[in-house]
Amino acid sequence: MIKHVLSPLDFSVQELEDLMDLANDIEKYPDKYAHACAGKQLATLFYEPSTRTRLSFESAMLSLGGNVLGFASADSSSAAKGESVSDTIRVISCYADICAMRHPKEGAPLVASMKSSIPVINAGDGGHQHPTQTMTDLLSIRSLKGSISNMTVGLCGDLKFGRTVHSLINALVRYPGINFVLISPPELRVPDYIIDDVLKPNNVPYTECTELEEAMPKLDILYMTRVQKERFFNEEEYLRMKDSYILDRAKMELAKKDMLVLHPLPRVNEISVEVDDDPRAAYFKQAQYGKYIRMALILTLLRLSGAVPMELPS
């Protein structure tokens, strides 16, 4: 039975804990895993731009002793000639053992998984989900704060189109003592389906506000996000929204001494570079955790030595 990863909820909390344990072990003892994927191939099928996700997947596979193939844009694949995702994945299944797919259309990795004979990992689908970023975020929080529970988490910026935010909320509601402060302009509020289908049914406390300064003193974690230019239909609207929040040294003065600043990256203007040297700024370390959790995920989906035991789909 093949396990695909389309949402962070495809793993139980225990399975995620086990994946994070494995990622921490990989970080500590990389040599132990250096040949674990010898003879295996990862395909990266990226129909949308990426730096971290694609390259961390590729770096992960290479560091496990495997090989990589793939494309970095729809234009450089036969999608440009009109090939469907379903046909592409049937072909890629002949060439690779596992694949990571990013696509601008929500649900494209799900469609691919239905025709695939290899594990498909959703590497970001439209404004929907980005499960491996969420695993990266959870690993960053657990490694740097010691626990994922009992936190006030501020999510700031584009909460409407930011798929990393949607995935992270879905994942965090499963941990005890989490409450959210949702900081956005009214136009970029978190979608109603997240409030109605995720926060309310799980009785997770949340408040919404428009001012970052007001939220800062309460937060244990501040998760900044970029305004997602590529999801706007109207350039003028994007330009009006793009600098809604800029985290700078003055705002950091309002925060707890041990607050963690995370950002899935890339950043544009929303975190001033003067914050980078603050010991609470963890976004580059977070990008590094992205490689370790993807190494753990590849090992596990391929059921190779060291892999986490998983519930199989029925």
Asked if 53 is part of the footprint of ligand CP (rule: CB under 6 A), the reply reads yes
Only segment of 46-54, 73-81, 93-101, 181-189 that touches ligand CP (CB under 6 A): 46-54
* Number of residues written out for the chain: 314
Catalytic site residue 53? Answer: yes
Only segment of 16-24, 193-201, 258-266, 272-280 that touches ligand CP (CB under 6 A): 258-266
Torsion angle (degrees, nearest 10) of CA 226, 232, 234, 237: -40
Shortest reach from residue 48's CB to ligand CP, in Å: 8
Residue numbers 291-310 binding ligand CP by CB under 6 A: none
Q: What is the separation, in whole angstroms, between the first and last Cα of the chain?
A: 8
The active-site residue, picked from 3, 4, 40, 52, is 52
Asked if 167 is part of the footprint of ligand CP (rule: CB under 6 A), the reply reads no
Asked if 244 is part of the footprint of ligand CP (rule: CB under 6 A), the reply reads no
In order of 59, 78, 279, the CA distances from 249 in angstroms are 33, 47, 12
Catalytic site residue 102? Answer: yes
Near ligand CP by CB under 6 A: residue from 131, 154, 162, 264: 264
Report the interhelical angle of 283-301 vs 13-28 (nearest 10°).
110
Only segment of 48-56, 76-84, 195-203, 269-277 that touches ligand CP (CB under 6 A): 48-56
Shortest reach from residue 136's CB to ligand CP, in Å: 8
Shortest reach from residue 200's CB to ligand CP, in Å: 28
- What distance lies between CA 287 and its chain's CA centroid? 10
Output the CA torsion sign for 179, 222, 10, 48: positive
Shortest reach from residue 242's CB to ligand CP, in Å: 17
The active-site residue, picked from 3, 128, 130, 242, is 130
| Cα–Cα dist 262/243, whole Å | 18
Catalytic site residue 294? Answer: no
Near ligand CP by CB under 6 A: residue from 26, 265, 275, 282: 265
Residue numbers 83-142 binding ligand CP by CB under 6 A: 124, 133
Instruction: Say which residues have a Cβ less than 8 Å from residue 3's Cβ, sequence separation at least 6.
Output: 10, 119, 301, 310, 312, 313
Asked if 51 is part of the footprint of ligand CP (rule: CB under 6 A), the reply reads yes
Only segment of 44-52, 64-72, 113-121, 216-224 that touches ligand CP (CB under 6 A): 44-52
Near ligand CP by CB under 6 A: residue from 7, 41, 50, 93: 50
Contacts of the segment 249-258: beta carbons below 8 A, 24+ positions apart: 249/274, 249/275, 249/278, 251/212, 251/213, 251/216, 252/278, 252/280, 254/213, 254/216, 254/217, 255/216, 255/217, 255/219, 255/222, 255/280, 256/217, 256/219, 256/220, 258/145, 258/220
- Interface with ligand CP (CB under 6 A), residue total 9
* Residue 9 buriedness (CB in 10 A; 0-12 / 13-18 / 19+): middle
Near ligand CP by CB under 6 A: residue from 52, 128, 160, 267: 52
Catalytic residues: 52-53, 81, 102, 130
Site residues (CB under 6 A) for ligand CP? Answer: 50-53, 124, 133, 264-266
